[in-house]
């Protein structure tokens, strides 16, 4: 009798349990009120990185997530848990309710676009060579390269092709924290260019172009001036051909994360 009861409970848990713990389909899809509320939630929580249109800014294009195979449930979990090791935060309860997440996804569904059908452009292997020539002095990939700019080992997971192209060709005036350009002029008039790592009213901490990290007290230097242009140079067609750009972008899109395990030398 006890065994029969136990087996009934186990079978019931198998049948009912998963349904209770995981909603597989968005219950608010197509609901006009939920879509409107989701628009607000999306703009507050997501638009800074993914753009008002979802086509990506600092974060990737998320209009094609369904057409490339993601499910409602998987997307729900991505929002709830975030993406470890990336800038994508977790939207945890109770500050963000299940309903909030489903409403944002209901809105995002209205922006959904088909998967791109154009054949991919450029050659990643050739792009790696371009990277080693033009970018490696400032950017690190898989543990090799400079430190002045951000590590790009997983840039392919976080930026769309269009966003990367715009950044390379046109630069940006919105600097990522920790990479704002700055010039410290020492008491004897020597300018030191670098990027700002921290600052308060009385001091500034920088990495200079020789990758020296150093703090300076403002009352002991002649000037601390914020740069108006990013330390990242603009690469117009005169410095980087369209074909090399295609190769470089293709290479950058393959970068999905640094594997730090030591491997035998080739």
Partner 1 sequence: MRIFHVFAACVLFVAVAVAQQAPPALVSIQEVAQGLPADGSRWLTFGGNYANHRHSPLTQITPANVAQLKPLWTFQTGTLGNFETTSLMRDNVLYVTGPQNVAWAIDARTGRQIWRYRRELPPNLTACCGLVNRGFGVLGDKLFMSTLDAHLIALDMKTGAVAWDATLDDYKTGHAATIAPLVVKDKVITGAAGGEYGIRAFIDAYDAATGKRAWRFYTIPGPGEPGNDTWAGDSWKTGGASVWVTGAYDPEQNLVFYGIGNPGPDYHSDSRKGDNLYSNSLVALDADTGKLKWHYQFTPHDVHDWDATEVPILADLPINGQTRKVVMFANRNGFYYTLDRITGKPIVARPFVITTWAKEIGADGRPVLVPGHTPDEKGEVTCPDLTGGTNFWQPSFDPSTRTFFVNAREVCMTFIAWKPTYIAGERFTGGSGQRVKPSESPAWGALRAIDPATGGMKWEFKLLSPATSGILTTASGLLFSGDADGNLLALDSRSGKLLWRYQLGATMHGTSPTTYIIDGRQHILVPAGTTLTAWALGDAPSTRD
Binding site for partner 1 (CB under 8 A): 33, 36-41, 43-45, 47-48, 94-95, 97, 99, 173-174, 199-202
Residue burial 9-46, b: 16+ Cβ < 10 Å; e: rest: eeeeeeeeeeeeeeeeebebeeeeebbebbbebbeebb
Residue 38 exposure: Cα atoms within 13 Å on the Cβ side: 23
Q: Which is nearer to partner 1, 131 or 175 (CB)?
A: 175
Say if residues 74 and 65 touch (Cβ distance below 8 Å).
no
d(CA 161, CA 175): 19
CB of 49 to partner 1, least distance (A): 11
CB of 94 to partner 1, least distance (A): 5
The residues, any chain, with a CB within 8 Å of residue 22's CB and separated by 6 or more, are 73
CB of 191 to partner 1, least distance (A): 22
Say if residues 185 and 191 touch (Cβ distance below 8 Å).
yes
Look up residue 156 and give its two tokens. Answer: 């392919």
CA distances 31 to 66, 107, 114, 178, Å, are 18, 9, 21, 42
Q: Which is nearer to partner 1, 106 or 249 (CB)?
A: 106
Look up residue 85 and give its two tokens. Answer: 């090791």
Q: Which is nearer to partner 1, 37 or 231 (CB)?
A: 37
CB of 95 to partner 1, least distance (A): 6
Q: Which is nearer to partner 1, 136 or 224 (CB)?
A: 224
Q: Which is nearer to partner 1, 11 or 92 (CB)?
A: 92
CB of 36 to partner 1, least distance (A): 5
Q: Which is nearer to partner 1, 27 or 143 (CB)?
A: 27
Q: Which is nearer to partner 1, 45 or 197 (CB)?
A: 45
d(CA 124, CA 97): 42
CB of 173 to partner 1, least distance (A): 5
φ, ψ for residue 118, nearest 5 deg: -60, 140
In three-state secondary structure terms, 195 is strand
d(CA 83, CA 76): 12
CB of 79 to partner 1, least distance (A): 15
């Amino acid at each position: 009798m006890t065994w029969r009861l136990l087996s009934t409970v186990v079978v019931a848990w198998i049948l009912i349990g998963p349904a209770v713990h995981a909603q597989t389909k968005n219950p608010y899809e197509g609901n006009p009120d939920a879509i409107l509320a989701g628009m607000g939630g999306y703009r507050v929580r997501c638009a800074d990185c993914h753009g008002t249109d979802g086509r990506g800014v600092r974060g990737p294009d998320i209009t094609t997530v369904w057409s490339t195979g993601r499910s409602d449930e998987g997307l729900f979990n991505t929002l709830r848990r975030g993406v470890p090791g990336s800038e994508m935060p977790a939207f945890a309860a109770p500050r963000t309710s299940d309903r909030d997440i489903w409403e944002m996804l209901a809105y995002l569904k209205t922006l959904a676009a088909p998967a791109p059908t154009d054949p991919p452009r450029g050659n990643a292997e050739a792009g790696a060579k371009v990277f080693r020539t033009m970018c490696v002095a400032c950017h690190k990939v898989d543990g090799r390269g400079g430190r002045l700019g951000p590590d790009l080992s997983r840039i392919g997971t976080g930026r769309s092709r269009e966003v990367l192209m715009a950044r390379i060709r046109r630069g940006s005036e919105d600097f990522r924290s920790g990479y704002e350009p700055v010039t410290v002029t020492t008491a004897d008039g020597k300018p030191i260019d670098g990027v700002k790592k921290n600052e308060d009213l009385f001091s500034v901490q920088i990495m200079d172009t020789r990758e020296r990290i150093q703090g300076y007290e403002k009352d002991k230097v002649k000037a601390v001036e914020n740069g108006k242009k990013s330390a990242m140079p603009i690469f117009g067609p005169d410095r980087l051909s369209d074909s090399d750009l295609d190769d470089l972008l293709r290479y950058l899109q393959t970068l999905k994360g640094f594997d730090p395990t030591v491997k035998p030398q080739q």
